[in-house]
Amino acid sequence: MTECKNVQDMIRLMASKLTEMANSLSDEEVSQFIDEILGAKSIYVMGAGRSGLVAKSFAMRLMHLGLKSYVIGETITPAMKEGDTVVAFSGSGETKTIAELCETAKGLNGKICLVTSKQDSRIGKIADCTVVIESHRDQVDDESAEYEIRQMMGDHKSFAPLGTLFETASMVFADSIISAVMEIIECEESDLKGRHANIE
């Protein structure tokens, strides 16, 4: 049998890192993020690679809440207008395709909300709202291509490679935002179920 690290220990280690990040979250950043979401006419989400999958999941949950949400790049996504908000998931805040799309959205008078681990970044400089969910990152040579090559953390690269912790934390953060918004708008789980896909 192949010898490998204890999977349960890896889960516990990742959970402990998520707890650390939860404790380091800024209440002000989170409150502003929620305000931007609730104040937007429409919400456009995006991310590259696995962060893009997190973004799609977040858009789906926003739709379940009854909010107008779209995934940038999908064929049915409508034109962005003033009063709309982009939510970008980018660990580095430098991913070229995402940064360029944010700059385009800004030119259309849209607002930018960034979920990242690096506030001082290309996207961070133009964002109206930034939530930093990971403070410990490896150095990489090319930040603009960072999502393809980054490692999670200095001493634990082997247990969660290629940005896994950021993406996992992003997913947990996004789902937690959904739970918080549910309470604010007094939305019940039955309301979400009523908007869930029924032609699967």
Residues identified as active-site: 167
Place of tokens 């949400």: 69
Rounded to whole angstroms, the Cα distance separating 98 from 95 reads 6
Alpha helices in the chain (DSSP H): 7-24, 27-39, 50-64, 96-107, 146-149, 164-184, 189-195
Q: Classify burial at 144, counting beta carbons within 10 Å of its beta carbon; exposed 0-12, middle 13-18, buried 19 or more.
A: middle
Catalogue the long-range contacts made by 181-189 (C-beta closer than 8 Å, 24 or more residues apart). 181/34, 181/37, 181/38, 181/65, 182/65, 184/34, 184/38, 185/38, 185/65, 187/65, 187/66
